[in-house]
């Protein structure tokens, strides 16, 4: 009995919280949220669930910790003299790329808006919105617009990638199928959708995303006389 206790303690000491989170991210990237179980994590780490529970209380806390690791790596202090609009663009693109690389991050953020990962995002956007001299009464609405756009477009892009993978195709083939379907819609009912169908397969997701950010930023500047 004493040997078992000592072995368990050594196992806990040799396993770090950082290592658990690192492997959790690997599993999430490979299998999504459904694949992240303490059983799968134990097998990957070659340890028992008890050693993991020593560092992480439950699966929800583990998912939040994994999400926070990704967000913390995306959020960084702007260089001295950086303009707030440029900082927002850089941060937004970083979030877009992070969600593209880790599709589960978007859902993890929206599921726990009170947790630290979302607070990091809010704080980063909020500081730059203040630096744009947006009046206090309009700051929350402005941050919300940016936040919902970033998470919405980033999440949709990740979802499109996931759909293509589950259908056994790549992005180009998937978009070409969508474009073909759109081009066959009724011309009277869907004139705009038909008009952009041919451009769908060749569009640049990141460029379109940044164009939307720029529209929001120009709107902010226009509304507040800058």
Please state the rounded mean pLDDT for residues 51-62.
89
- Taking only the tens place, the pLDDT of each residue in 132-147 is 999 999 999 999 999 9
pLDDT tier at 9 (50, 70, 90 boundaries)?
very low
How far apart, in whole angstroms, are the C-alpha atoms of residue 40 and residue 223? 51
pLDDT tier at 160 (50, 70, 90 boundaries)?
confident
What average pLDDT does the structure give for the chain? 86
pLDDT at 172 over 50: yes
Q: Which helix (H) or strand (E) holds 21?
A: helix 17-31
Between 175 and 43, the more confident residue is 43
Domains of the chain are: 2-56 (1.10.10.60), 68-223 (1.10.357.10)
Neighbours of 75 (CB within 10 A): 17
The predicted structure's pLDDT at residue 218: 94
How far apart, in whole angstroms, are the C-alpha atoms of residue 188 and residue 193? 11
How far apart, in whole angstroms, are the C-alpha atoms of residue 119 and residue 114? 7
Straight-line distance from the first to the last Cα atom of the chain, in angstroms, rounded to the nearest whole number: 72
**This model's pTM is above 0.85:** no
- Whether residue 59 contacts residue 37, with contact meaning beta carbons closer than 8 Å, is answered with yes
The predicted structure's pLDDT at residue 21: 95
- Whether residue 99 contacts residue 157, with contact meaning beta carbons closer than 8 Å, is answered with yes
Q: Which helix (H) or strand (E) holds 101?
A: helix 84-101
Least confident of 2-11, 116-125, 147-156: 2-11
Between 128 and 156, the more confident residue is 128
Neighbours of 159 (CB within 10 A): 14
pLDDT at 214 over 80: yes
pLDDT at 54 over 60: yes
pLDDT at 5 over 80: no
The DSSP 8-state label assigned to residue 56 in this structure reads: -
DSSP assignment string, 140-188: HHHHHHHHHHHHHHHHHHHHHHHHHHHTT--HHHHHHHHHHHHHTS-TT
- Whether residue 91 contacts residue 146, with contact meaning beta carbons closer than 8 Å, is answered with no
pLDDT at 11 over 50: no
pLDDT at 8 over 50: no
């Amino acid at each position: 009995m004493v040997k078992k206790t000592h072995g368990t303690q050594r196992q806990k000491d040799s396993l770090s919280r950082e290592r658990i989170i690192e492997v959790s991210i690997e599993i999430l990237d490979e299998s999504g949220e459904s694949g992240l179980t303490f059983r799968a994590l134990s097998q990957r780490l070659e340890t028992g669930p008890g050693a993991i529970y020593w560092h992480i209380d439950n699966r929800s806390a583990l998912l939040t910790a994994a999400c926070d690791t990704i967000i913390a790596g995306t959020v960084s202090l702007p260089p001295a003299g950086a303009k707030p609009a440029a900082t927002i663009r850089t941060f937004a693109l970083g979030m877009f790329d992070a969600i593209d690389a880790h599709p589960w991050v978007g859902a993890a953020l929206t599921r726990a808006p009170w947790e630290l990962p979302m607070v990091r995002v809010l704080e980063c956007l909020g500081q730059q919105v203040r630096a744009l001299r947006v009046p206090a009464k309009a700051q929350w609405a402005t941050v919300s617009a940016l936040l919902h756009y970033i998470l919405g477009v980033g999440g949709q892009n990740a979802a499109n990638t996931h759909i293509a993978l589950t259908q056994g195709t790549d992005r180009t083939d998937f978009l070409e199928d969508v474009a073909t379907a759109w081009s066959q819609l009724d011309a009277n009912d869907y004139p705009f959708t038909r008009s952009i169908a041919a451009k769908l397969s060749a569009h640049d997701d990141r460029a379109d995303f940044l164009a939307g950010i720029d529209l929001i930023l120009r709107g902010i500047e226009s509304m507040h006389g800058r």
